[in-house]
């Protein structure tokens, strides 16, 4: 049996985008396994506002995001996926037919669309039974069911067990118990808003102790098996989890190590103050654990973290900001180069510079930029037909530059592109 998921849901209707995004980030940092953000309004402007909010969320969180919307046509499903959501949830009650589901599954895959059912609705139980309805939805391309307003009985357990599609239960946990819902056969997760502001890491630990298979931080190497220094401490090198920048060096004793694993926040032993300290407890510059690794000698830990704000007490991003000696070397990183060039393009757009070719393109507008992209793409084709490596290298670089101008004009950045490629991979 795999891990059962705790999915935090947010009803974005009548909520500001900022409020929804802040809550989504808070849920991730407190231990949620996934997010379900929805607004089932049929008003197009409200649907577009949801998509805009989802794009902000997927840029700021790493856990999977499920997007719930009322899809009038396939175009709505496409827009929902283009936000970075891993799955789209469609309310069955608002589907006039299943054509959009079929088209969405054909375009994005048969593991991407979830159908929400209301267990209190007559359409859920009659004239179709759940297994018959699930079979119909599965045939159309649905990958799972999200069932709300569930009253748990032996009959309901049996229906869900035999549904033929994996089930997520949406529940406010005012009547039902999380452990009970998660342990139901064929239930892969529970979506709830009950844990807003609560420590989900602690809730999952309690569930695990009670026999529910949930995903928690568990280390196969206890602290007792690590090699300590003369003070009984293990040094920890801390890196940014995305760009691998070394942020700081600190130390852990056994209590700090266990606390880090329990809470998902980096906790250290202060040699100066001779006590535990949670990084960021005073400054707000918390470090959220992404991974912990140990070296070959079992005497040093490597932590990859999400760093909020600065890691150094001086206000610098990294504690290693003072350079002592340096020999010139080529540290070219492809993504760094792309990002650096793109940053210059964005700066030209924001702060025009006289005589700049980039500003010339922005002034001429989207049609001119598209024309240049088309021309440069053609140049690549011509260069590829000639056995000249230098020529095709030059033309590809030229095309990438113009493509980045187009990205800036259309409000797309490299994070959008790499995230989309990552989802496809």
CA distance 105 to 122: 27
Whole-number CA gyration radius for the chain? 26
> If you average pLDDT over residues 205-221, what whole number do you get?
95
Q: Identify the CATH homologous superfamily for domain 223-307.
A: Phosphoribosyl-AMP cyclohydrolase (3.10.20.810)
Q: Is the pLDDT of residue 1 over 80?
A: no
Q: Is the pLDDT of residue 311 over 60?
A: yes
Residue 228: partners with Cβ closer than 8 Å, 6 or more residues away: 234, 299
Secondary structure (3-state) at 56: helix
DSSP secondary structure code for residue 184 in this structure = S
Surface-to-core class of residue 112, CB atoms within 10 Å of its CB (0-12 exposed, 13-18 middle, 19+ buried): buried
Tally: H helices and E strands in the chain: 15, 14
Task: For residue 232, give both structure tokens.
Answer: 């009984």
Task: For residue 406, give both structure tokens.
Answer: 């187009």
CA distance 406 to 75: 23
CA distance 411 to 403: 12
Q: Is the pLDDT of residue 83 over 70?
A: yes
Task: Check whether the bond before 127 is cis (ω within 30° of 0).
Answer: yes
Q: Is the pLDDT of residue 122 over 70?
A: no
For position 362, what pLDDT does the model report?
A: 96
pTM of the model: 0.86
Please state, as a whole number, how many other Cβ atoms lie within 10 Å of the Cβ of residue 424: 7
pLDDT digits (tens, 9 = 90+) for 290-310: 999 999 999 999 999 999 999
Cβ 251 vs Cβ 235: under 8 Å: yes
Q: Provide φ and ψ at 188, rounded to 5°.
A: -95, -15
> If you average pLDDT over residues 82-92, what whole number do you get?
95
**β-strands 234-240, 187-192 pairing:** unpaired
Residue 47: partners with Cβ closer than 8 Å, 6 or more residues away: 39, 41, 69, 70, 76, 79
Please state, as a whole number, how many other Cβ atoms lie within 10 Å of the Cβ of residue 244: 9
CA distance 188 to 219: 24
Q: Identify the CATH homologous superfamily for domain 5-209.
A: Aldolase class I (3.20.20.70)
Angle at 160 between CA 72 and CA 32, to 5 degrees: 70
For position 415, what pLDDT does the model report?
A: 86
- The CATH code that applies to domain 334-424 is 1.10.287.1080
For position 419, what pLDDT does the model report?
A: 81
**Domain locations in the chain as residue ranges:** 5-209, 223-307, 334-424
CA distance 11 to 36: 9
Cβ 171 vs Cβ 187: under 8 Å: no
């Amino acid at each position: 049996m795999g891990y059962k998921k705790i999915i935090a849901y947010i009803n974005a209707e009548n909520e500001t985008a900022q409020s929804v995004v802040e809550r989504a980030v808070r849920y991730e940092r407190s231990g949620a396994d996934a997010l379900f953000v929805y607004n089932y309004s049929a008003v197009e402007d409200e649907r577009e506002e949801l998509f805009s909010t989802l794009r902000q969320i997927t840029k700021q969180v790493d856990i999977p995001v499920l997007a719930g919307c009322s899809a009038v046509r396939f175009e709505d499903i496409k827009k929902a996926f283009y936000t970075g959501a891993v799955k789209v949830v469609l309310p069955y009650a608002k589907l006039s037919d299943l054509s959009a589901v079929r088209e969405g599954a054909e375009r994005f895959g048969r593991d991407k669309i979830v159908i929400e059912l209301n267990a209190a609705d007559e359409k859920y139980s009659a004239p179709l039974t759940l297994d018959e309805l699930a079979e119909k939805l599965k045939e159309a391309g649905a990958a799972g069911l999200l069932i709300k307003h569930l009253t748990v009985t032996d009959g309901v357990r049996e229906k869900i067990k035999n549904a033929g599609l994996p089930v997520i239960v949406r529940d406010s946990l005012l009547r039902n118990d999380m452990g009970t819902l998660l342990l139901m056969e064929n239930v892969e997760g529970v979506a709830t808003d009950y844990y807003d502001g609560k420590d989900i890491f602690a809730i999952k630990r309690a569930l695990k102790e009670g026999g529910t298979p949930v995903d928690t931080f568990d280390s196969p190497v206890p602290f007792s098996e690590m090699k300590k220094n003369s003070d009984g401490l293990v040094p920890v090198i801390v890196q940014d989890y995305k760009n691998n920048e070394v942020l700081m060096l600190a130390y852990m004793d056994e209590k700090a190590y266990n606390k880090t694993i329990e809470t998902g926040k980096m906790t250290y032993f202060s040699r100066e103050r001779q006590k535990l300290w949670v990084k960021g407890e005073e400054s707000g510059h918390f470090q959220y654990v992404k991974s912990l690794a140990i070296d070959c000698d079992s005497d040093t830990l490597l932590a990859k973290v999400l760093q909020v704000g600065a890691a150094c007490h001086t206000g610098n991003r990294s504690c290693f900001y003072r350079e002592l000696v340096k020999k010139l070397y080529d540290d070219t990183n492809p993504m760094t180069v792309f990002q650096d060039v793109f940053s210059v393009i964005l700066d030209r757009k924001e702060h025009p510079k006289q005589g700049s070719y980039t500003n010339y393109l922005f002034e001429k507008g989207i049609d001119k930029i598209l024309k240049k992209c088309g021309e440069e793409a053609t140049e690549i084709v011509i260069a590829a037909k000639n056995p000249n490596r230098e020529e095709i290298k030059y033309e590809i670089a030229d095309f990438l530059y113009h493509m980045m101008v187009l990205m800036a004009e259309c409000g797309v950045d490299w994070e959008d592109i790499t995230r989309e490629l990552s989802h496809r991979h």
